[in-house]
Amino acid sequence: MKNTVQARVANLLRAHLLIGQKRFRSPQRLQEDCHLSSYDCLELALLLEIEFKFDLSDEEVATFQTFGNVVRCVKQRLAPFLGPQPGKRLTMPLKRNARTPEAQPWRHLAAA
């Protein structure tokens, strides 16, 4: 079983909201295609907060129109913790001058 964000969101929908679909696709609408009520969408938001250990704002929950919106929102919230994604360029920090005091935190020990 995959442990991707998409798979975990799909498992939440299947297990807790009792949606019997085997496969979820990004454009699937939660209310029309998956037959979720607005109460179910709020319950999904609570389940996501518990599963992924973060808080969702009301504005974020309001964007939950499709399965893809939910997965995208979770990925954006987890992005700082997941590290670089494939295909994204990394920017390297500027190298400090080795002679500056902040680059040599042990320097004060040599003076003592």
Q: How many domains does the chain have?
A: 1
Mean pLDDT check: name the lowest of 9-13, 31-35, 84-88.
84-88
Is residue 55 included in any domain, yes or no?
yes
What pLDDT was estimated at residue 69? 94
Is residue 98 included in any domain, yes or no?
no
Cα–Cα dist 38/53, whole Å: 22
Cα–Cα dist 31/40, whole Å: 9
Structural domain of 36: 5-82
What pLDDT was estimated at residue 87? 58
**pLDDT bucket at 19, cuts 50 / 70 / 90:** confident
What pLDDT was estimated at residue 1? 47
Is residue 89 included in any domain, yes or no?
no
Cα–Cα dist 12/45, whole Å: 10
Is residue 61 included in any domain, yes or no?
yes
| CATH code, domain with 68 | 1.10.1200.10
